[in-house]
């Protein structure tokens, strides 16, 4: 009797162990929900944890749009290998973009045009992804992504491991051309590259802001993608309320230390309407950052020679978090133990900006 009971308990425990998800900390939000749907509808299978995390994160950080995410699945080797007929293909598009089965008139219309060769499969995707029905579906998924405060922050991690080449106008319509991007500075004492550190702080700031209810857009999420300064601004202009650009300073003179905010000047020829917001944002962030970190506060600089700032149509600040050529600043900022103080300082400044 006791033996039977024991084996029953073992059986129950084994069953419970088997149903525990492999990756228990997968986020249950609309972004992962959308990606999960694509696995089911397009690939006809349950998502693998690595793939789900990858697509969920790209959606969450606005690295990719809902439409491009769907396109990624529809052009994946896995889906292409299924070699579906036009009818099956259009049916999958209805399920993917409209979340429903096709009505016969619509199905006939699209399969007919595909058969005639007057459209290709990519054009059909465009038709579906531009529909109002799909827009509604996207809003449903992004709004189910929890306690949003309705504010979107664009974080621009300065520079990149691969520097965008060529030249871009200093401001919209300007004939004054500047380098599209630069390689940035490097820690004289730590040896850490600026673009590596801006990415680290940006990732942590993204997590912190999302935890505080902000939506976050990132201008880059890896160190191998070149992004020019006009594109950085345009990513922010496309849906963000404010733009926070993260940088570190460098100078030959290693005795110079401290952080400062750079914003446009009131006489900016391109987007002067953003001056007041930018100046206030710059002040909120620099004061809060310096009080959280103890880094010397060099205040707010107003200048019209920053391409990314000039192209921003939203309040924009370029935060120079300290000098990587100064021993104290460099060793402080590259020490991961100080990163949460740095990130909290910036996030508190953003809170203060929206609170006042
Ligand atoms: Zn920089």
∠ Cα 270 183 278 (to 5°): 30
Q: What is the largest CA-CA distance in the chain?
A: 90
Ligand 1: distance of its center to the CA of 176 in Å?
20
Ligand 1: distance of its center to the CA of 182 in Å?
8
Instruction: Provide the pLDDT for residue 243.
Output: 98
Sign of the alpha-carbon torsion through 163, 214, 24, 38: negative
Ligand 1: distance of its center to the CA of 19 in Å?
48
Ligand 1: distance of its center to the CA of 165 in Å?
16
> In 180-296, at which residue ranges do the beta strands (DSSP E only) sit?
215-218, 242-249, 259-263
The CA distance from 324 to 257, in Å, is 9
Ligand 1: distance of its center to the CA of 157 in Å?
9
Ligand 1: distance of its center to the CA of 276 in Å?
24
Ligand 1: distance of its center to the CA of 186 in Å?
9
Outline which parts of the chain fall under CATH 1.10.3130.20: 20-143
The H or E element spanning position 351 is: helix 339-355
Ligand 1: distance of its center to the CA of 215 in Å?
24
Ligand 1: distance of its center to the CA of 180 in Å?
13
Instruction: Provide the pLDDT for residue 342.
Output: 97
Ligand 1: distance of its center to the CA of 45 in Å?
44
Instruction: Provide the pLDDT for residue 174.
Output: 95
Ligand 1: distance of its center to the CA of 150 in Å?
29
Q: What is the DSSP letter of 206?
A: H
CB 234 within 8 A of CB 217: no
Ligand 1: distance of its center to the CA of 308 in Å?
12
Query: Regarding the domain delimited by 152-355, which CATH topology (the fold level of the hierarchy) does it fall under?
Result: Aminopeptidase (3.40.630)
Outline which parts of the chain fall under CATH 3.40.630.40: 152-355
Instruction: Provide the pLDDT for residue 6.
Output: 60
The CA distance from 74 to 122, in Å, is 9
Ligand 1: distance of its center to the CA of 192 in Å?
13
Ligand 1: distance of its center to the CA of 298 in Å?
16
DSSP 136-202: HHHHHHHHTSSS--S-EEEEEE---SSPPPSEEESSTT-S-EEES-----B-TTT--BHHHHHHHHH
Query: pLDDT tens string for the chain (356 positions)?
Result: 566 666 656 555 444 444 444 444 556 778 899 999 999 999 999 999 999 999 998 888 767 778 889 999 999 999 999 999 999 999 999 999 998 999 999 999 999 999 999 889 988 998 888 777 787 787 677 766 556 788 999 999 999 999 999 999 999 999 999 999 999 999 999 999 999 999 999 999 998 898 888 999 999 999 999 999 999 999 999 889 999 999 999 999 999 999 999 999 999 999 999 999 999 999 999 999 999 999 999 999 999 999 999 999 999 999 999 999 999 999 999 999 999 999 999 999 999 999 98
Ligand 1: distance of its center to the CA of 211 in Å?
27
Place of tokens 């309705």: 150
- CATH no. of 20-143: 1.10.3130.20
Q: What is the DSSP letter of 21?
A: -
């Amino acid at each position: 009797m006791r033996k039977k009971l024991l084996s029953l308990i073992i059986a129950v425990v084994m069953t419970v162990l088997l149903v525990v998800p492999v990756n228990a900390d997968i986020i249950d939000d609309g972004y992962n929900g959308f990606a999960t749907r694509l696995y089911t509808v397009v690939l006809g299978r349950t998502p693998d944890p690595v793939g789900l995390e990858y697509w969920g994160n790209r959606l969450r950080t606005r690295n990719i749009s809902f439409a491009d995410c769907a396109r990624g699945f529809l052009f994946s080797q896995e889906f292409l290998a299924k070699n579906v007929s036009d009818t099956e293909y259009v049916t999958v598009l209805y399920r993917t973009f409209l979340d429903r089965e096709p009505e016969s008139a619509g199905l006939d219309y699209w399969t007919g045009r595909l058969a005639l060769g007057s459209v290709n499969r990519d054009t059909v995707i465009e038709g579906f992804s531009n529909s109002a029905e799909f827009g509604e579906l996207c809003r449903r998924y992004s709004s189910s992504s929890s306690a949003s405060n309705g504010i979107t922050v664009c974080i621009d991690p300065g520079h990149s491991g691969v520097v965008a080449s060529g030249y871009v106008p200093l401001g919209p319509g300007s004939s004054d051309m500047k380098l599209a991007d630069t390689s940035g500075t490097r820690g004289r004492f730590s040896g850490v590259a600026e673009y590596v550190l801006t990415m680290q702080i940006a990732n942590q700031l993204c997590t912190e802001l999302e935890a505080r209810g902000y939506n976050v857009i990132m201008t880059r999420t890896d160190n191998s993608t070149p992004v020019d300064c006009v594109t950085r601004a345009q990513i922010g202009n496309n849906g963000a309320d404010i733009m926070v650009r993260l940088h570190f300073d460098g100078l030959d003179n290693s005795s110079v230390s401290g952080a400062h905010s750079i914003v446009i000047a009131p006489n900016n020829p391109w987007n002067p309407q953003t001056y007041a917001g930018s100046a206030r944002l710059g002040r909120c962030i620099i004061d809060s950052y310096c009080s959280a970190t103890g880094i010397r506060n060099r205040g707010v600089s107003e200048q019209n020679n920053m391409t990314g700032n000039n192209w921003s149509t939203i309040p924009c600040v370029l935060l120079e978090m300290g000098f990587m050529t100064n021993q104290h600043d460099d060793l402080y900022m590259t020490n991961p133990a100080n990163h949460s103080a740095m990130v909290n300082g910036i996030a508190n400044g953003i809170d203060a900006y929206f609170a006042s």
